[in-house]
Amino acid sequence: MNFIKNNWFSEIQDELWPGQMFSLKIKEVLHKEKSKFQDIQIVETETYGTCLILDGIIQCTSRDEFSYQEMIGFLPLCCHPNPQKVLIVGGGDGGVAREVVKHPLVKEVHQVEIDERVVELSKKYLPSMACGFENSKLKLTIGDGFEYMKIHKEEFDVIITDSSDPIGPAVSLFQENYYKLMKNALKPGGIVCSQGGSFWLDFDYVKKTMDGCGKHFAKVAYAVTSVPSYPCGHIGFVIGSLDPNQNFSEPVTRFTKSQIDSLNLKYYTSEVHPAAFALPRWVEKHFYK
Ligand code: SAM
């Protein structure tokens, strides 16, 4: 399917989000290819900057990416008392790595991304995100996150899954047995945080992912952020902890406003953190009953 017509890109996904679409006016198609794993497009938009599109789905735009990258990184890191060793699964644009390496307690970051072409193209066209790959704390492996998880035991304090949506190569990263593998790859008290979809669009799917997580983790929650270029302008994270006393909405590491500024955080603050876990009543009743 050609998603670009008359200089407009339209995110038409009848399977995932039937009956709706988000469109962006395009200035230029910067790159287009089919990699071993997916269809990759990078476009320059009129109002959202540079945009990475995989299999016809917007992954990030340079205008609003920080609200996603900062939140998926800092929510779990600030819930963990000592997040020294972190694993990122997916995240081929480099934006999550850029955020995670900033956290003062993080010493080592491992990342496993399935598609090296996403990394290479992000370095060329999205340098403000791909700068995450240049940090000396980061070690990048090209491979499947699901397979990688099978061979790592009690190694990480925090695992962040920044995956594409549950079609194509990312399907396995939403399944219950992925949560089981992540549990085994974590040290005691470890925390996972995954791209979990939006309650507006994926209501039952989010609940199913939370239930899958809950079979292996003592505490599970769902947090939200707003990202205008994602469907409904909204996305959430499924977060799980092995610590039965975990209270996700109280960060154990807090930052003053001047620390927030020196970390160059634009969305995450110690006040935004608890607010992200506050859910509308109809959602709360469904997710936590
Ligand atoms: N923030 C984006 C979102 O929410 O849509 C995701 C961005 S990031 C580009 C997603 C990455 O996950 C892609 O680069 C994709 O190649 C990678 N990915 C998908 N399935 C994977 C798997 N099984 N193992 C590792 N990486 C995977």
Mean pLDDT by groups of 10 residues along the chain of 289 residues: 86 91 97 97 98 96 98 98 98 98 98 98 98 97 97 98 89 92 98 96 93 97 98 96 98 98 98 98 92
- Tell me if domain 4-61 and domain 65-287 are identical in fold: no
| The ligand 1 atom nearest the CA atom of 96 | 1
Q: What pLDDT score was predicted for residue 1?
A: 57
Whether the CB-CB separation of 170 and 164 falls below 8 Å is answered with: yes
Give the strands of the sheet with 4-5, arranged side by side: 4-5, 8-10, 23-34, 39-45, 50-54, 57-61
How far does the centroid of ligand 1 lie from the alpha carbon of residue 242, in Å? 24
Euclidean distance between CA atoms 119 and 92, whole angstroms: 5
Domain 4-61: top CATH class: mainly beta
Euclidean distance between CA atoms 231 and 22, whole angstroms: 7
CB of 122 within 6 A of ligand 1: the answer is: no
- DSSP codes joined into one string, 192-228: EEEEEE-TTT-HHHHHHHHHHHHTT-SEEEEEEEE-T
How far does the centroid of ligand 1 lie from the alpha carbon of residue 153, in Å? 22
CB of 61 within 6 A of ligand 1: the answer is: no
Q: What pLDDT score was predicted for residue 2?
A: 61
CB of 114 within 6 A of ligand 1: the answer is: yes
Structure tokens at 191: 């925390």
Closest residue CA from atom 27 of ligand 1: 90
CB of 267 within 6 A of ligand 1: the answer is: no
Question: Nearest-CA neighbor of 64 among 199, 233, 255, 224?
Answer: 233
> Would you identify the CATH topology of the domain 65-287?
Rossmann fold (3.40.50)
Name the pTM for this structure: 0.97
| The ligand 1 atom nearest the CA atom of 38 | 16
Question: Nearest-CA neighbor of 160 among 145, 175, 139?
Answer: 145
The strand pair at 219-226 and 186-197 is best described as: unpaired
Q: What pLDDT score was predicted for residue 165?
A: 87
Question: Nearest-CA neighbor of 115 among 52, 193, 30?
Answer: 52
Q: What pLDDT score was predicted for residue 169?
A: 87
How far does the centroid of ligand 1 lie from the alpha carbon of residue 162, in Å? 6
Domain ranges of the chain: 4-61, 65-287
How far does the centroid of ligand 1 lie from the alpha carbon of residue 124, in Å? 18
CB of 243 within 6 A of ligand 1: the answer is: no
What is the best residue among 42, 111, 117, 164 to mutate for testing ligand 1's pocket, by most ligand atoms within 8 Å of CB? 164
CB of 160 within 6 A of ligand 1: the answer is: no
Q: What is the complex's ipTM, to 2 decimals? A: 0.98
How far does the centroid of ligand 1 lie from the alpha carbon of residue 281, in Å? 31
